[in-house]
Amino acid sequence: MADEIPWERLFEEALRVRQRAHVPYSRFPVGAAVLYADGSVVTGCNVENATYGLTICAERGAFAAGVAQGREKPVAVAVVVDTLEPCPPCGMCRQVIAEFAGPDIPVRSRTLSGAEARYTLGELLPHAFTRVFL
């Protein structure tokens, strides 16, 4: 499956939506693109708030938009950040990805200069809390 994922398209879309990030406080724009099993792509950017704590990360924004658009079965996540080293999604975003995808979903993060990190959700969030425990 990983070979069939159009990563370049995903990173292009993540880069594009990153320009829409609302980041007056951190000035740290992030873009995320989620590929679904039907081939559709849903994107998200981080949206900050004057209360700081209400910040929505790019990844969570993308997954929330996917729900609103009726998308099911995410199969890959791409993130673009402007850091020296590519950075993985934060803990909250890992948990949100785990709500919709299994441990094998690939998550890749790229910097503007092209450095890339590749993970699976299972690596990022072992022993996830999911609906099976409810």
Catalytic positions, please?
59
Region of 39 (left: φ > 0; alpha: ψ -120 to 50; beta: rest) is: left
CB of 3 to ligand DUR, least distance (A): 25
What DSSP letter does each residue of 59-91 carry, written as one string?
HHHHHHHHHHTT---EEEEEEEE-SSS--PPPH
| Spatial contact of 41 and 16, defined as CB atoms under 8 Å apart | no
CB of 23 to ligand DUR, least distance (A): 5
The answer to whether 59 contacts ligand DUR (rule: CB under 6 A) is: yes
| Residue in the structure block whose two tokens are 């829409």 | 20
Task: Output DSSP code: residue 101.
Answer: S
| Spatial contact of 30 and 11, defined as CB atoms under 8 Å apart | no
The answer to whether 83 contacts ligand DUR (rule: CB under 6 A) is: no
Nearer of residues 32 and 75 to Zn ion, judged by Cβ: 32
Nearer of residues 60 and 71 to Zn ion, judged by Cβ: 60
The answer to whether 43 contacts ligand DUR (rule: CB under 6 A) is: no
Q: How far apart are CA 77 and CA 62, in angstroms?
A: 9
Out of 15, 87, 90, 117, which residue is the one contacting Zn ion (CB under 5 A)? 90
Nearer of residues 72 and 99 to ligand DUR, judged by Cβ: 99
Would you tell me which residues interact with ligand DUR (CB under 6 A)? 23, 26, 28, 30, 46, 48, 55, 57-59, 89-90, 93
